[in-house]
Amino acid sequence: EVTTPEVDIFDREAVFIETVLDPLRKRLPELRITLEHVTTGDGIGYIDDAASNLAGSITTHHLIINRNNILVGGIRPHYYCLPVAKRETHRQALRKAATSGNPKFFLGTDSAPHVDPLKECGCGCAGCFTAINTLSCLAHVFEEEGALDRLEAFTSLNGPAWYGLAPNEERITLVRREAPVEFPAKIETGAGPVTVFDPIFKPYWDVEA
């Protein structure tokens, strides 16, 4: 997205596509480009319509929250991230793309472990700390969308294939527990506590030990 101060923060991805990305691709049509951390239906549609040398990463948290989760009923700094979460229609477009099986889309968590004093202040840092519960959250999303069979490709196969890398040969197993999986609300660090992303729902999927 563009970072020009006068451009509305919710329009910056669309403006970037129109004023930067599209002209660049017209000048260099063979250039392989990753649109990192897509947050809008505009971005999803642009990638869908483009040739095979354009792909996009999608974060865990943008599949779960929209801008209301940040702003309604009081400011929730631990949902504030950049690119900022957009309206619900964009979240739905992201979920559709992520769970579609389209190899142009893959996970890019953008997990950001900012300590609480840097989030809960007058000018807080942007970012959601999702590393600890990303797989549980994603399994929940893909289950809701009836696409559990496409989760591995989104998290582990599409990205390496796009970058010309072999997939990781190590394997993990996700299991669905009978009771919700409990994650710590905070992780203590030497610099202070870090709040773990709250997906709003109760996750039942867990990484088998």
Yes or no: say if 42 and 19 are a contact pair by the CB < 8 Å rule. Answer: no
**From the candidates 42, 48, 110, 116, which is the catalytic residue?**
110
Yes or no: say if 59 and 83 are a contact pair by the CB < 8 Å rule. Answer: no
| C-alpha pair distances (Å), 174 with each of 10, 141, 158, 196, 204 | 35, 14, 19, 20, 10
3-state secondary structure of 57: strand
Q: In this structure, what are the phi and psi dihedrals at residue 6, rounded to the nearest 5 degrees?
A: -80, -10
The runs of H, that is alpha helices, within 11-149 are 12-16, 22-27, 41-49, 67-71, 88-98, 116-119, 134-144
| C-alpha pair distances (Å), 147 with each of 74, 76, 151, 174, 181 | 34, 30, 7, 14, 21
Rounded CA gap, 77 and 116, in Å?
A: 9
Residue 110: active-site member: yes
Task: Count helices and strands (H / E) in the chain.
Answer: 9, 7
What residues act catalytically? 110
